[in-house]
Structure formats: structure tokens, C-alpha cells
């Protein structure tokens, strides 16, 4: 049984790739902030949790595509592209800015599927993902502003890290 067009199947497979790729990136950021040069324990916890959540999203799309009789394709992942810039902003600012852009790409992709799939069952399936995405991006955007506000003040950055440690 396959009740999906090839075009819609490709869109879902692309979404599976984006979710796995996001998990991959969060794992890289987790390992980066966990070392003794960065040592941001709270942000490490946040990235680890996010990596798991993205993996879960990927599995939900895999299960959904299979349930509609489609063929899942698991593609190669890219090496995470995050590089620290010497531009005066903190490591935390650059990382959260990076993941906010990443989440925005995921949001655009989800929206693109919903707008172009012409498949009401799939549209209903996508709604909770879109809602969660909006919420997550709002939280990240607010966090980014707070990080921006403390600049390179070590005490401020440590306070934010402690806050993340308690939250996640």
C-alpha cells in the first residue's frame, strides 16, 4: 500500500534528513561545550536533550512515512559546520544564534510541506510539529537576547549556564 505521491514522499524524506542532521549538530555542540576549555555544564545538558528530541522527531517521520506505505531513505549526514568566530561575541551567543538559524530552516521546511503537500492527513500530522517549532524558536530567541545582554561577562554567562543546569 502506498497512498502518497513521490513528490510528498521526497518531502518527508527530506524532513527526516533535517531532523537527523539537527540531532547530529546538537550532539556536536554538546561535545564542544562539555570539554574543559568551554565547561558549560548547563548548556551541555540542553544540547544533549535537544539532540534526543530531534532524533525522536526523525523517528516520528520515519514511522509516519512507513504507515502511509512510503519508502524511507536514510541519507548521509553532513559534518556539523559550526566554527567559532573571533568577532567579540561569546561562544554561547554564537552557538545559540547558530541553532536558532538551524531551527528556522526546520520550521521553513515543515511549513513548505504543509503548504504544498495537498494531503489533509499529512497536514494534520504536521500541526503539532509546527506548534512545537514556534515555541522552541521563541525560547531560543529570548535566550539569545539574554546572552547578548551579558556580552562577555563571565559571571553573567555562568549564571545563565547555572540556570540551564537547573532547567534541563
Binding site for Fe ion (CB under 5 A): 19, 54, 57
Length of the chain: 168
CB of 137 to Fe ion, least distance (A): 11
The smaller minimum CB distance to Fe ion, of residues 53 and 148, is found at 53
Cβ atoms of residues 33 and 94 within 8 Å: no
CB of 157 to Fe ion, least distance (A): 27
Quick one: residue 71, left, alpha or beta (phi over 0 = left, psi -120 to 50 = alpha)?
beta
d(CA 73, CA 60): 14
CB of 103 to Fe ion, least distance (A): 8
The smaller minimum CB distance to Fe ion, of residues 54 and 161, is found at 54
The smaller minimum CB distance to Fe ion, of residues 54 and 119, is found at 54
CB of 160 to Fe ion, least distance (A): 23
The closest residue (CB) to Fe ion is: 57
The smaller minimum CB distance to Fe ion, of residues 45 and 57, is found at 57
d(CA 29, CA 150): 21
Residues 6+ apart with CB under 8 A from 158: none
Cα 19 to chain centroid, rounded: 7
CA angle 125, 64, 75 (to 5 degrees): 120
Amino acid at each position: 500500500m502506498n497512498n502518497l505521491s513521490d513528490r510528498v514522499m521526497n518531502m518527508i524524506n527530506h524532513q527526516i534528513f533535517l531532523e537527523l542532521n539537527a540531532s547530529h549538530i546538537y550532539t556536536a555542540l554538546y561535545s564542544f561545550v562539555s570539554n574543559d576549555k568551554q565547561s558549560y555544564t548547563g548548556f551541555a545538558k540542553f544540547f544533549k536533550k535537544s539532540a534526543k528530541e530531534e532524533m525522536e522527531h526523525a523517528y516520528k517521520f520515519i514511522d509516519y512515512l512507513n504507515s502511509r506505505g512510503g519508502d524511507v531513505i536514510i541519507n548521509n549526514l553532513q559534518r556539523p559546520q559550526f566554527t567559532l568566530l573571533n568577532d567579540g561575541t561569546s561562544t554561547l551567543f554564537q552557538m545559540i544564534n547558530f541553532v536558532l538559524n538551524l531551527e528556522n530552516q526546520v520550521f521553513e521546511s515543515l511549513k513548505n510541506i504543509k503548504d504544498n503537500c495537498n494531503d489533509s492527513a499529512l497536514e494534520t500530522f504536521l500541526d503539532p510539529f509546527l506548534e512545537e517549532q514556534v515555541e522552541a524558536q521563541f525560547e531560543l530567541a529570548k535566550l539569545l537576547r539574554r546572552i547578548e545582554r551579558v556580552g562577555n561577562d563571565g559571571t553573567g554567562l555562568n549564571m545563565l549556564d547555572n540556570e540551564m543546569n537547573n532547567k534541563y
